[in-house]
Amino acid sequence: MTDKSAGGANDGAVADPAAARPGGPLPGDGESIVVPPAILKQQAGWGQAEARRAESGASKDETPQVFASNVRKKDLSEAGYDENPGSVGRLGVILGTVLAVLLVGSGVTLYVVNKPDSKKPAADAAPTSPPAPTQNPVPPIKTDAKVLPTVTGELGKKATIELPKEAADGNFVVKTLIEGTGPKVGKGNWVTADFTSKDWTTGKDLASSFDQNKPQLFQAGGGKLIPALDDAVTGHAAGSRVLVIAPPAAAFGPQGNPQMGVGAADNLVFVIDIKQATAPDATVSGDVAEPTEGMPKVKDNGKKPATITPVPGVAAPTELKTSVLIAGKGRKIESGEKVVVQYTGVLYADGKQFDSSLERGQAFSFATGGGGVIEGWDKAVTGQTIGSRIEVVIPPALGYGDKASEKIPANSTLVFVIDILDAGVGAAD
């Protein structure tokens, strides 16, 4: 839900000052993201931009760098949400990698960087820096090996990994240690997973999601995480613990990951605890409560959009109003987390629906506190528990203000029913 309210216009996770209105076309035919050099310098494999700046004489401390530019594509949703199913390539995917690093804070990211560029320079173009390393093909997954690390520790807690004396054989291995009883992870499912990792080549302990007290959240098979995490969970049931042996091609490739201290030839070990698998068309379930008095009535229609009916004679509120319809049993969502939700939105004035993720069968994801949604959504979702269903009435000042957006007239009060499916650390779409 791209914000163009009192808080400013946003596309993805940062303000887009050129946006004419939420979900609408930009003036001109393209858009760019300007990223401060300090952020670029933190990213593995992004140092080539500094080399080019040095050759051109630009100040590396003061000159912002254009990180990406593309032609704006039409938003999929009617309300101008910055929606991004796995099959759609948009600027938000690129920006999401930057946001993920900012959210993690510790400098650790399992997101893919330095993918090979299919665009070749012109024959007469003089290269200004060495080419980026080319990622080798990911080897096929094997289910066992002659020599494997020993893993101890309880499921759901940081694992202890003991390495053998022998070196890794270079195979990509995914071995089930504990078989879960939850739904199996399918490609495109949203997954939350905890991980413990170690460098088999150096013996060094690496990052763990347990250090952040939040799991990774991603779409299985979406290609945004390294294959050691992305490919390894597909086909395994929620509640499983799997051991993953990842050669460079299934991890960070020939560039390694200097932030994590991973070399170009290092074999890595991951122990992954799959917490939850959520289908793109999932909804929450539980005991349903009536909305707070005076708030619109809600009829649950299963996997179809809810029917939301404003109460006749009740004036639109001027402040944000939230009512919990189903109380989730998960933890509370903190600002900065990535959240996966289903939603239906209607106009308060007449109950006319303008958007619903359920009609597309594709849950919507966004980073709380990142400016990627209207302010009313950020305020309403942050602090709620995972597994909850909430009804939210958003006044114009926390929505789209005096600007029309697709099917939403200017100065509209909006009503949403939002199912909070899951949350964790992840890149914004």
**Same domain for 249 and 152?**
yes
Give the per-residue pLDDT at 168: 96
Q: How confident is the model at residue 406 (pLDDT cuts 50, 70, 90)?
A: confident
Asked whether 348 and 289 are in contact (CB, 8 A), the reply is no
In a domain, 81, yes or no: yes
In a domain, 130, yes or no: no
**Same domain for 358 and 307?**
yes
**Same domain for 20 and 83?**
yes
**Same domain for 92 and 165?**
no
Give the per-residue pLDDT at 426: 84
pLDDT in tens, 46-74: 333 333 334 444 443 433 322 222 222 33
pLDDT in tens, 19-53: 322 222 222 333 322 333 333 333 333 333 333 33
Examine the pLDDT at 258 and tell me if it is beyond 50. yes
**Gap between the Cα atoms of 351 and 345, Å rounded:** 9
**Same domain for 35 and 78?**
yes
**Same domain for 189 and 242?**
yes
Give the per-residue pLDDT at 365: 94
Region 409-413 average pLDDT: 96
Residue 4 or residue 296, greater confidence? 296
Nearest to 366 by CA among 414, 326, 418: 418
CATH of the domain at 395: 3.10.50.40
**Same domain for 170 and 258?**
yes
Beta bridge partners of 272: 195, 242
Residue 408 or residue 14, greater confidence? 408
In a domain, 316, yes or no: yes
In a domain, 134, yes or no: no
In a domain, 111, yes or no: no
Region 255-259 average pLDDT: 91
Region 124-139 average pLDDT: 56
Which of 251, 278, 305 represents a domain boundary (last residue)? 278
In a domain, 288, yes or no: no
Domain count, the chain: 3
Which residues 6+ apart lie within 8 Å of 181 measured at CB? 237, 239
In a domain, 381, yes or no: yes
Give the domain extent around 146.
141-278
In a domain, 114, yes or no: no
pLDDT in tens, 340-395: 999 999 999 999 999 999 999 999 999 999 888 999 999 999 999 999 999 999 99
**Same domain for 92 and 147?**
no
pLDDT in tens, 61-114: 433 322 222 222 333 343 334 433 333 332 223 223 323 333 333 334 565 544
Average pLDDT of every residue of the chain = 76
Region 400-406 average pLDDT: 91
Q: How confident is the model at residue 136 (pLDDT cuts 50, 70, 90)?
A: confident
Examine the pLDDT at 428 and tell me if it is beyond 70. no
Task: Fill in the amino acid letter for 415.
Answer: V
Give the per-residue pLDDT at 110: 64
Give the per-residue pLDDT at 39: 35
Nearest to 218 by CA among 326, 378, 42, 84: 84
Give the total residue count for the chain.
Answer: 429
Which of 233, 248, 278 represents a domain boundary (last residue)? 278
**Same domain for 347 and 403?**
yes
pLDDT in tens, 294-349: 999 999 999 999 999 999 999 999 999 999 999 999 999 999 999 999 999 999 99
Nearest to 205 by CA among 274, 262, 154: 262
pLDDT in tens, 150-175: 999 999 999 999 999 999 999 999 99
Q: How confident is the model at residue 223 (pLDDT cuts 50, 70, 90)?
A: confident
**Same domain for 184 and 270?**
yes
pLDDT in tens, 262-276: 999 999 999 999 999
pLDDT in tens, 278-292: 999 999 999 999 999
Residue 204 or residue 90, greater confidence? 204
Give the per-residue pLDDT at 212: 83
Q: How confident is the model at residue 135 (pLDDT cuts 50, 70, 90)?
A: low
Which of 83, 104, 125 represents a domain boundary (last residue)? 104
Give the per-residue pLDDT at 280: 95
**Same domain for 91 and 148?**
no
**Same domain for 224 and 304?**
no
